[in-house]
Amino acid sequence: MTSWKENAREVVPYTPGEQPKTKVIKLNTNENPYPPSPLVGKAISNIQLDSLRKYPDPGCSILISALAKYHGFNEENVFVGVGSDDVLAMSFLTFFNSKKPIFFPDITYSFYDVWADLFRIPYETKALDKDFKIVASDYSGECGGIVIPNPNAPTGVAEPVEFFENIVAAHPECVVIIDEAYVDFGSKSCVDLVRKYDNVLVVRTFSKSRSMAGNRIGYAIGSKELIKYLSDCKFSFNSYTMDTITLAVGVASIEDNAYFKEKVDAVIKTREWTKGELTKLGFTFPDSMSNFIFAKHESVKATYIFEELKKRGIYVRYFSKPERISDYLRISIGTDDEMQEFINELSNIIKGV
């Protein structure tokens, strides 16, 4: 007799950053250190208890409409999901069905290969160059799809829109996904490519720049046809992805643009200050356009710094693989006070070696 295990889908899951239960300085999962807009709080208190009795709107129309208006697109160009992880997973399922491999960088968001394995999508990773830049020519061959974050994670390196336009234009045979999880922190968005090309999907999230990782809101902007395909797959899997409360708070966040800008600017300012301090302490890093810095010390090992920081209640992220990044730490940007304390402790650790 064969075992049921032979017919089970076996995968190695994505490992999310730690969510410690005790109070720590948490610089390990790129969350925003500021709370969401006060309008989000108001939207939560305005929820009528009775409204939860009913299923939410499966078409998510209030949120889609707010996002369409915000980006200057039609509603049929917008798709929403349970965080961008959900949007990305659904996009992989919808668009990456070729026998040819999909392409993505070797150092990138570590969920891409997990989804590829889960959905049995063949893939090829393309090595970043020594400065952690994406090599455009690596993406020229015919393929089953392309997914690239811009800025890339965990490096923080951003490429200009023309860089992506060249890739999109060269690949009418597949869908190119640009994962803009960190684009609000100072780099240029590729959303306007959607007006010109029907094979590009730009994916965004409320988790980082909008301080709403706890709510799970992600979305995609693409051609009407692309969004229709995505939507049909979603409705074949789970009609009610977005709950009533989440739809309301998503709209509230979009409506408070002044607050959003203020907090994003604060994070950028703190990031630039942190870059200066890290340099003084002997760290090097690719220039980050995101809400984190991917840094390496000239002499002290990343694992040592990681453990010492943890003992002091400061959490950063460490990736042991691939080998090439095993001496780097990914440091999310916190408040000014948090980063000051981080730098103080870091300085003690390095001086104490």
Q: How many CB atoms lie within 10 A of CB 208?
A: 26
Residue 149 contacts ligand PLP per CB under 6 A: yes
Nearest distance from C-beta of residue 113 to ligand PLP, angstroms: 13
x/- site string to ligand PLP, residues 198 to 227, per CB under 6 A? Answer: -------x-x-----x----x---------
Residue 329: partners with Cβ closer than 8 Å, 6 or more residues away = 294, 295, 296, 302, 305, 306, 316, 317, 318
By CB under 6 A, residue 83 contacts ligand PLP: yes
Distance between CA atoms of residues 24 and 199, nearest Å: 43
Please choose, out of 79-87, 192-200, 239-247, 248-256, the segment that lies near ligand PLP by the rule CB under 6 A.
79-87
Residue 137: CB atoms within 10 Å: 7
Q: Show the tokens assigned to 170.
A: 């060269």
Give the single-character DSSP code of 188: -
Which tokens sit at 45? 């208190």
Query: Applying CB under 6 A, which of residues 66, 128, 153, 295 lies at the interface with ligand PLP?
Result: 153
Please work out the total of residues on this chain that contact ligand PLP, with binding judged by CB under 6 A.
Answer: 13
Give the H/E segment covering residue 148: strand 145-149
Determine the Cα–Cα distance for residues 112 and 105; give it in Å rounded to an integer.
Answer: 10
- Binding status of residue 85 toward ligand PLP by CB under 6 A: yes
Q: Would you call 124 helix, strand, or coil by DSSP?
A: strand
- 303 and 318 Cβ atoms separated by less than 8 Å: yes
Q: Which stretch binds ligand PLP (CB under 6 A): 10-18, 59-67, 83-91, 332-340?
A: 83-91
Question: Shortest distance, CB of residue 186 to ligand PLP, whole angstroms?
Answer: 15
Is 84 among the residues that bind ligand PLP (CB under 6 A)? yes
Give the separation between CA 151 and CA 205, rounded to whole angstroms.
13
The token pair that represents 84 in the structure block: 């961008």
Stretch that binds ligand PLP, among 43-51, 82-90, 132-140, 296-304 (CB under 6 A): 82-90
The nearest distance, CB 34 to ligand PLP, in angstroms, is: 16
Minimum CB–partner distance for residue 81 and ligand PLP (Å)? 8
Residues that bind ligand PLP (CB under 6 A): 30, 83-85, 109, 149, 153, 179, 181, 205, 207, 213, 218
